[in-house]
Structure 1
């Protein structure tokens, strides 16, 4: 059984809820002698934090090699490559294991039924050993495309500079004429400059669009190249083969975008012309001078563009903050729902103060909270930074958008047939929700508001009050997890085969929050045991991890599976904690 690892010096007790906080790491040898000194270095081989005094004895007297780094440089590259879903079939969400040469398509076991009559259906594990994919060539082509993107960005900068210089030149040319007809020229000059600035503003906007499109391409290329290097250096032959095939189509798309941007051209200069009959300027009035510029049409282009046997894990406390009632809040906070955005920001809904909050990696509040008209129950972060929130007192699900500057905006509402409590992600467009006072306590809900039911699932004959039941869903296992708080039970339903199992244990006492854990497992808050229980979909308990809080209530895991957030509901001592998830040592 995996054990929990805590370093109390990492706790961050913020006086103001999710306000400013400082996290320091103490020297571990000093802590053993009841001394408190700040660690300055970290031994990667011994996994130990040290101060300057303890560093030398550690390397001299402790056997073994010692890779000493500064605390701020303590980062480790992942050993296992996260293919970011590219090794999963988009249609069936199953692992890719075949490649159909007839259709140039990567296939999972489900796809095989469709392609079974094809002439050449290769097993990737075999063909990837026989021929090395041309990933290096693809990498070089991406580098070349990135260079072209840089050239386009430089061209945009040069064009904007040319426009600015043209305005200055026009001003100088007009000034040489104003000695003869000062008053008229001053009027003409102001009109001319105004027209030039308007033209520049319009052009700069179009240049900006071109630059933004190229920056997006460059950002995408940086991400692709970063992943490409990792796959080339550390990927298995199968992963390299899969990634190579995935990137061929992406390369075509990026090349097309680069070609489109290259065709868009702008004039970087403007000129001024004077009529021949300069002596008649007084009669011509303020329309005597005209601005010359090239008219071009612009084309706006934009592109938005792991499975293994369940293993125990180790939890290491990173940050802990107290959630007291402050002047900014009318009541003591109760974080009834938590979830991570894809970029790592944490989203929390406060059931007591009716707010939605964005938090950073130190659990500090970002931006301005969104205020609801009723008490929120649960939140899930869907693709494209869309938040879906269930609320009490109504049969409505709120859809909110979150910007990069942490602005939360209500986009629309979904009306449902029942009042809902918990909500979790099932796929890119579908969620699984738990219902209140309904004989069907869990169902599916699309982002378009379409409700559907699990046809092969038979639920207990009972209805749940708010908070008595929550659910989560493991997509790769087609498994629905339903929590029954009062029965001290965790139900596991195979939604395809219709089988189920009820998991009970002394370790599971009044289960509350639940979420999908690393390796398609389940993490459940055991409220009365002040712990988190780690389960496989087969119902086996992989580990039990005490947490330093009373009555853990809500829980979520980051999209990359490396961090866990948990909050509690013990009155007077409300907390929010962030843990690092690591595989347990065998």
Structure 2
């Protein structure tokens, strides 16, 4: 690709199926030949099985280089250029394995015309062997790579259209040889005219769809053939996958339900496709949105590289002017200075070119990934999509944490000439300044714009895994436990606010009770509602009865209280700056406080743009990954969103019992990726919302044993839920 070009989605997804089949999409980028048993790598690039095997095994030259350090591949960066891989025996690219059956056929019933229809073979590279993807340079550890059924089936269709016409399978069974004229799409037999007539008359096959090869090669049956292609079960190769296991999140056949997936909840492939396709589409959109950012940063580095050359030329001009004044007396010093400047600028440009090259490679990889996903989503079968979704979502999750190699300084060159004299040539010539300086505010692009985490979300489990359940009822309790607040300490312990027993309970990471306190004197707790752990590990508690916020150490010692700002404080949280945010359900406002002494920083009036109250009966508050403040409200819309500075931004949610509605929204929390969780108390469930506040799906329900969820918090991909009467349940959801 030329410098300055912007790679991205190539547009194959908008092509017709017939057009896609005639592109290089079906050629292996490793050997530049048509795919044979394409394998999908973790970086979402596909290679033929032979190419993967060649990559994963050290060459003789590599083996020799270990003993002879002076013998190196001319490609010093270790990457394998596109097109240099060749199959071990291209002449046997489309082989037909022998069949030992006695039916007279010379090939497996699933293999004909050189096309392996449904063999789920996978490459198993040596464990621990690391090789590099020849397209993006990603380091890949040897493992079992899945067959890319999407590409395999497209190659099969291409072979039907452009490959040699096969012989009739039925005639071969009787020892005859005749050219096939048709293909049965249901049983995938190749048949001649006479056998085709018999095929249509036979009771078992009269309903099959038979396609003439003449019309197949004209492209008239492309979509019919695709409709009949389906991957076989990885564990039962003779069976097609028709079901989707909700628990394991993989496609299975009917036999799997009596073995490895016995008792698991399943649905049809058709029913499962929409939600996973929608998830992939969202991930793809986020991926595509990152491509211009990388291109922009490449242009930024290119501009700096060009400015280095401009600065060098200007400095050379100054040197020449000074040198002409001093004549030959300073020629030697001039040349030494030029050499020094040239060396530093060359090093700087080399460094920038290396970074640009690396970014362009990452940009190509993202573009390739997006291109592949677009094609898969546009033309892939549901079974193909589901059979690959684990690897796809894992790769996209990796991109969520992608860190790009940027720069923190840039080379600055400067020359300050002095008044020439005949003494001390070095002093007369001037002072040269060479060194890196931090990027200034005028630099229009920073690495902050390159973050992928705001758009690429890791997949949420269809069924979150329960990791811990414990009761918060203690011997000191005189009433039923009502855990209205929960927070997680730095040592992964749990802190619970028990409203009705008027105390705070601290538990270890495994749910064992460590401490119960209710304060004394000025710090006596009246009616606690919610709590949060401050950056210094202290615990801040809203006290509705005392109309204040009390701050304690983790050992229960009272520190200070925040008074005079509240009538009925409920939810409490902290923002990225560690400031305390409290929502007041009577004043219908939020206040922000300094965590050191509780002094008021600002008040958020909680009003709409027209001046009316945005809050009606607010309960809990949380801060999302971009600093926006989210408040749950029993009035619909149920979620109100404010900017970090307090501007009212948006609202979402309706009142009811449907999947996208709530009866009584209680706890709310947001994870590091932007996922939003809301406790729907009266509907006995926790709802999962997208970062923009739009409903995604119910994450936990009564089917998961949930009962009247109250407070929520999340950390390290785990969700903590308190229930009425004191149960605490912890789930891993990613």
TM-score normalised according to structure 1 size: 0.44
Which structure ranks higher in relative contact order (CA pairs < 8 Å, sequence separation ≥ 6)?
A: 1
Q: Which has the larger radius of gyration?
A: 2
TM-score, normalised via structure 2 length: 0.36
